[in-house]
Amino acid sequence: MFLPVTKEEALQRGWNHVDIILVTGDAYVDHPSFGIAVIGRVLEKAGFSVGIIPMPNFSDPSSIDVFGRPNLFFGVTSGNIDSMLSRFTAFKKIRNDDPYVPGGKGGVKPSNAVITYCNLIKQRFKDVPIVIGGIEASMRRLLHYDFVQDKLRRSILLDSRADILVYGMGEYQIVRIAQRLSGGQSLQGIPGTVTIAKQKPYDAVELPPEEDAMANVESLLAMYRIFYRNFSKKVIAQESGGRYLIHTPPPALTQQELDAYYELPYERKPHPVYKDTIPAYEMIKYSITAHRGCAGGCSFCSLTLHQGKMVVWRSPDSIKREIVTVSKRKVHISDIGGPSANMYGFTCAIGGCNRESCVFPDVCKNLRLETHGWLALMEDALTLPNVKKVSVGSGIRYDLFMQGDNAKKNLEFLVKNFVSGQLKIAPEHTDATVLRAMRKVSAIPLEEFAGVFNAACKRLGREYYLVPYLMTCHPGSTNSSVLRMRRDIEHIFGYVPYQCQAFIPLPMTLSSIQYYTGSDPLTGEKFFVEKKAQLRKKQHAMLTTKLKI
């Protein structure tokens, strides 16, 4: 049974009121790849009644009044994607599409959706607690650079006037928040949250005051340097307007907990109220999430700040149970992966450290690269009932895949059994300066990997292709470096792929601060940054068109 999206559906369950109302900018798809479904099911499992308001009319406060006043709180998210990224392209043009709504039509969710939805709630229910979460809240939890508005913005907790901010995936936090509010307890000190307090904890690491960091580049760089080196282990405090933002380190996640989250009773499809297809669901309905976290720590990516650098992976039995659940008829499992599919099974020999990345500037000696277990898992999946094929849909970190004595043999096994026409990889660039700004120095040359892959395809008689994701306009990128990248890519692959994106500075990433300041806050290195819109377009066109520019 779906979680209710109408008062009538709540009444059918015998609920005159619900404990918690979750508001999201996306359609309600009851599938573990959609954050609102996971949070709703986790709360349901904990004994709370939950209603969902998907895609409220952001110009009509009454659209928040579907269930009336909740017993405990409103939970607000923009959805699976930051609303500014959802609405605007890398060149600040309004997007015409949104894969997370019926029909894939753009414009359903507003810009700054979390703030907008909180304002709607405040107009109708001024005294009801508000909890904000999801990727938009998570990556705007402290002072950040907003690319679309081209300015620094203070914590979204302040601008939304919410009571507490949940960062990361949020299952642990949301249950603790519900329990504390149910018992009339304080929300301070819950791992993985940001709150506002009159005083800072005595043991907190203090950031430069928010006002100083907004006014002074050196203070901003110092803020991010201190934050990145401490956020996963220590309580952090930052003064803002005479009060303090209190950032508590994230909770530890066990394999047993992760298994439990993905084995909740999802319907695994969109709510029947929708008549049009939801593109994002069509892409992932036979995809299996195997792990969370990313050891890469690339400067342009939000994963390390959102999910953490420690890879937590589900048990093989849990994954196979999910595959059996989705395979009621013959299916093609399109992916068994995560941020990089082959990071499944990665572990740290010492249980974590203060390195911002496990693979930059080199692969940490304590990182245990377990490729065989992931390949064995996919091989086992092929033996399950109604599974006709298993593919790698999310792509691999190719340089880490090639570590170890059996790397070439493993790659041939992957090509033979789990590649469907193409294998996605993400070199992002080939220029040394840009790669350093990205904190993405490959452990083996791209050309070497392509050669091994092509040789494996030839031996197997397969006409498969590598599809490299590439990026222009990142800090450090110049017209000359893009032209060199184009020559490199054409030499290695024989073509320039369409998977080329212009860099967008995602809030709170290291690259966003590089873009805003021209400096890396961790190393102090200076990088050229192209900010003029027309010149950014020109640089991107150098890679994506055959025009002489």
Q: pTM for this one? A: 0.95
Spell out the per-residue pLDDT of the chain, length 549, in tens: 999 999 999 999 999 999 999 999 999 999 999 999 999 999 999 999 999 999 999 999 899 999 999 999 999 999 999 999 999 999 999 999 999 999 999 989 999 999 999 999 999 999 999 999 999 999 999 999 999 999 999 999 999 999 999 999 999 999 999 999 999 999 999 999 999 999 999 999 999 999 999 999 999 999 999 999 999 999 999 999 999 999 999 999 999 999 999 999 999 999 999 999 999 999 999 999 999 999 989 999 999 899 998 999 999 999 999 999 999 899 999 999 988 889 999 999 988 888 888 899 899 999 999 899 999 999 999 999 999 999 998 889 999 999 888 999 999 999 999 999 999 999 999 999 999 999 998 888 999 999 999 999 999 999 999 999 999 999 999 999 999 999 999 999 998 887 799 999 999 999 999 999 999 999 999 999 999 999 999 999 999 886 444
Distance between CA atoms of residues 213 and 513, nearest Å: 12
User: Which residues are 233's β-sheet partners?
Assistant: none
Cα–Cα distance for residue pair 414/132, rounded to 1 Å = 41
Q: CA angle at residue 546 from 399 to 93, to 5 degrees?
A: 80
- Backbone φ and ψ for 351, nearest 5 degrees, come out as 80, 20
CB 297, CB 304: distance < 8 Å: yes
Strands 269-270 and 243-247, sheet pairing: unpaired
Q: Please name the amino acid found at residue 547.
A: L
Determine the length of the chain.
549
**327, 390 in Cβ contact below 8 A?**
no
CA atoms in the 13 A half-sphere facing the CB of 488: 19
Q: How far is Cα 98 from Cα 86, in angstroms, rounded to an integer?
A: 7
Domains, the chain, ordered by start: 7-188 (3.40.50.280), 193-249 (no CATH), 286-544 (3.80.30.20)
